[in-house]
């Protein structure tokens, strides 16, 4: 579906959709103890809240939305357009902090319960976050803003991610990336995990966003405020970090593993690490055309002459 024709506000008015990774597997697998991991998570949230406050302070028309990304679900935990009191009181933004933290706590509890229910009936689920779902929700939110009125701010998405990539989400994530590219919505990536994320590298590169991997989480707010707080117009005059060595490898559809070389279905473009007789995605039989031609030629030879 093509994007709705819309008009923009001034160049410095932004609509920022933040995807916040709340995957418990990422925080619990830290090399530190569980108590220290919780302290790091709380410190991270405080820095993210300060960053969101600064976005709203830069321009009173700026809009922000925060989507929590869990293991099994995603949900909106803050929307400045629906907030009853987004203004400043006594030098603070109580509506943002209290509302966001309350909904974040409820979301983490629901996602943990859902994970326990699925683990009882199904094999252990993947430890990656549902990035494809949060990206889809962010794009749907932006499209809704596009159609809400004749004017809207410049949209962009910021992924604050720490979990590793989930190869089983490759198709859905790539579809979201191409949808964002078509809608001219940059996807910025702030990856706080140990290794780089190939999915987020591709997302930022394809959509014209910024990919940054902070070296120290203590200074996360500095990275957020200096790199990701700038509006799209101001970025034309700044030297922002550029992606170096983007990993464009794909994930196979059969084993969900990242591969360098593989086989591609000519019908649905599914990728496989090994040769298969039949495509598991669309059901096409590989080599069917050659078989039909050979059988047709054999029948022609066996046809008696009149």
Q: What string of DSSP letters covers 115-161?
A: HHHHHHHSSPPPSS--HHHHHHHHHHHHHHHHTTSSEEPEEEEEEEE
Say what the pLDDT of residue 164 is: 86
Instruction: Give the pLDDT confidence of 83-142 residue by residue, as tens digits.
Output: 655 554 444 455 567 778 888 888 888 888 887 777 666 555 567 889 999 999 999 999
Record: fold of 7-248: Rossmann fold (3.40.50)
Is the four-CA dihedral 225, 128, 177, 19 of positive or negative sign?
Answer: negative
Phi first, then psi: give them for residue 216, nearest 5 degrees.
Answer: -135, 125
Beta strands in the chain (DSSP E): 7-8, 14-21, 63-69, 74-79, 151-152, 154-161, 187-191, 211-212, 250-251, 258-259, 263-264, 271-272
Q: How confident is the model at residue 32 (pLDDT cuts 50, 70, 90)?
A: very low
CA distance readout (Å), 5 to 75, 145, 149, 189: 27, 12, 10, 27
d(CA 89, CA 104) in angstroms, rounded, equals: 22
CB 262 within 8 A of CB 250: yes
User: Is the pLDDT score of 176 beyond 80?
Assistant: yes
Return residue ranges of the chain for CATH 3.40.50.410: 7-248
Instruction: Give the pLDDT confidence of 76-97 residue by residue, as tens digits.
Output: 999 988 865 555 444 445 556 7
Report for 134-138, 148-152, 269-273: range of highest mean pLDDT: 134-138
């Amino acid at each position: 579906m093509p994007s709705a024709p819309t008009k923009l506000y001034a160049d410095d008015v932004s609509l920022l959709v933040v995807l916040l990774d709340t995957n418990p597997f990422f925080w619990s697998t830290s090399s530190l103890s569980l108590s220290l991991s919780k302290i790091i998570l709380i410190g991270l949230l405080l820095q993210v809240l300060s960053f969101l406050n600064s976005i709203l302070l830069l321009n009173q028309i700026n809009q922000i939305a925060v989507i929590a990304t869990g293991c099994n679900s995603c949900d909106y935990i803050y929307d400045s357009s629906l907030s009853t009191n987004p203004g400043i009181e006594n030098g603070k933004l109580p509506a943002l902090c209290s509302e966001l933290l309350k909904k974040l706590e409820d979301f983490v509890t629901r996602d943990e319960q859902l994970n326990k229910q699925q683990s009882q009936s199904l094999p252990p689920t993947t430890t990656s976050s549902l990035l494809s779902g949060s990206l889809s929700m962010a794009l749907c939110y932006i499209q809704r803003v596009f159609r809400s009125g004749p004017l809207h701010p410049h949209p962009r998405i910021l992924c604050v991610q720490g979990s590793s990539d989930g190869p089983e989400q490759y198709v859905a994530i790539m579809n979201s990336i191409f949808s964002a590219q078509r809608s001219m919505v940059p996807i910025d990536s702030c990856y706080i995990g140990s290794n780089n994320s190939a999915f987020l590298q591709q997302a930022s590169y394809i959509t014209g966003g910024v990919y940054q991997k902070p070296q120290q989480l203590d200074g996360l707010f500095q990275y957020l405020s200096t790199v990701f707080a700038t509006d799209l117009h101001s970025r034309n005059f700044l030297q922002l970090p550029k992606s170096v060595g983007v990993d464009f490898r794909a994930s196979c559809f059969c084993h969900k593993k990242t591969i360098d070389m593989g086989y591609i279905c000519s019908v649905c473009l599914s990728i496989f690490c090994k040769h298969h007789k039949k495509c598991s995605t669309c059901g096409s039989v590989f080599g069917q055309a050659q078989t039909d031609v050979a059988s047709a030629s054999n029948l022609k030879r066996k046809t008696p002459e009149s």
